[in-house]
A and B are shown apart, each in its own frame.
Chain A
């Protein structure tokens, strides 16, 4: 029986458009929201549960960048589970850029956020001779099934050096 290839050990050529993953869920505690706020976003509506009540947010809310950072953590953990034994840092692609990042509703202490990932496009472009681009649409939902965040991101994946590229544009 042939074993399924691990997700992160696949070449760019072998990653299909349309692939969909649920990275998992995370419950944001009051303490975590405050800790992130104190380090990266020291606004009272991220750091002081009592004073936050008197702001337009009417209570503590998580920083939008706390959500994107948590998305990253769940993606890394998810990919690790499918990449056991792969410890080759060269295979880890960098993020190139993102588009249409939007936050729709606040995340408050105790909210559980579920992160989904769908590969939407593989632009035909070669970056630094060895990388291809995987474009994905990423969504985050709270426990009420409300969309709380959405963005599209381009992440590099290593192209198979054994495959001649079919006229792709070199950068």
Chain B
């Protein structure tokens, strides 16, 4: 059963699935998108502000989106992308073999968006590691299809 834009209620909360980031995944992303020493090299990373080899902050944001959309799909929500991120903080590094999970609270939304057939849904999202420590905190505005567009999902 699908849950469209108007079915998402302010105050609703849910947890996403979990995802573990291994060394190879961190190095792969860094080599392609963020080739800085602390994402590629153990020795340089230990000497850096992070204190160890860690994932690019942009890999963490991409994985946040993956966790979020996978979970929304399981709920039957036709996510059509992301509209905006009013604010985001990187709170702690993500190290090799850390396990990430998101906690989401729906804050409300607007009936319309730049994308025809979609409304906007505002969410507060925290992604934390296996120790419960937040690694990113953000407000995000997602594009969610209206019910009349059954071809959306």
Contacts and interface: CB of A to CB of B under 8 A. Distances in A.
A56 B114 CA distance: 12
Contacts of B36: 76, 89, 92
A76 B66 CA distance: 25
B84 A92 contact: no
B87 A99 contact: yes
A69 B33 contact: yes
Contact of A41 (B58, B62, B84, B117): B62
A89 B41 contact: yes
Q: In the complex, which range does the number of interface residues on chain A fall in? A: 35 or more
Given A65-B58, A65-B65, A94 B84 contact: no
Contacts, number: 120
B57 A95 contact: yes
Contacts of A73: 32-35
Nearest to A65: B62
Interface in A2-50: 40-43, 45
Interface stretch (A100-108, A111-119, A159-167): A100-108
Contacts of B80: 45, 55-57
22 contacts: A43-B69, A45-B80, A55-B151, A56-B151, A57-B115, A65-B65, A66-B62, A69-B56, A70-B33, A72-B34, A76-B36, A87-B37, A89-B37, A89-B38, A89-B44, A89-B48, A90-B49, A94-B90, A96-B90, A103-B81, A128-B49, A151-B85
Interface of A: 40-43, 45, 54-57, 61, 63-66, 68-70, 72-73, 76, 87, 89-90, 92-105, 128, 131, 151, 156
